Amino acid sequence: MVSLTKRYRFSASHRLHNESLSAEENARVFGKCNSPYGHGHNYIVEVTLRGPIGPSTGMVMDLGLLDRAVQQEVLDRFDHTHLNLDVANFQGRVPTTENLCVEIYNLLCGRLEGGKGGAHLEKVRLEETSSNSFEYAGVTADDLEQTPREKR
């Protein structure tokens, strides 16, 4: 089994704001990320697939399939948008990079699972800046053993 990772880039703006909190609470919880007009990042998303090497192709997956899935599910949806205002996925959900990372994983999972060759989505890593990054590998056995936490 081999893990293969490909990196993509998109730019988007967001504002961290929860309608159910007061203005003061939003300012306290989200700090300058609560600035009303939003702010932007150059995001880097790393998509990792894991699977056996196809004996006739030498490849884990046709990278053209991966590129198309990422283009259609992620880049077309998020690139050069305001995540709060332009993207249906974040209506009623704060577009933190944590939530964006989980959303990208779920969007790609539906496209990449069950393809021929047996590769599966292993994880998504999302960099908001070169100093901040988040990883999500789906629900694991460890998650299920823990007490469910309140959704953000």
Known catalytic residues are 33, 80, 128
The structure tokens listed for 106 are 């779920």
Query: If binding is defined by CB under 8 A, does position 92 make contact with another protein?
Result: no
List the one residue from 11, 42, 57, 71 that touches another protein (CB under 8 A): 57
Query: If binding is defined by CB under 8 A, does position 98 make contact with another protein?
Result: no
Burial bucket for residue 95 (CB in 10 Å: 0-12, 13-18, 19+): buried
- Binding part of the chain for another protein, among 34-42, 49-57, 89-97, 132-140 by CB under 8 A, reads 49-57
Query: If binding is defined by CB under 8 A, does position 62 make contact with another protein?
Result: yes
Give me the least distance between CB of 70 and another protein, in Å please: 11
- Binding part of the chain for another protein, among 23-31, 62-70, 71-79, 84-92 by CB under 8 A, reads 62-70
How many of the other CB atoms lie within 10 Å of CB of 84? 18
Strands (E), the chain: 2-14, 39-51, 81-82, 120-127, 133-136
Query: If binding is defined by CB under 8 A, does position 23 make contact with another protein?
Result: no
Using alpha carbons, select from 2, 8, 5 the residue that is nearest to residue 77.
8
When the beta carbons of 56 and 146 are compared against another protein, the nearer one is 56
Please check whether residue 67 is in contact with residue 75, taking contact to mean a CB–CB distance below 8 angstroms. no
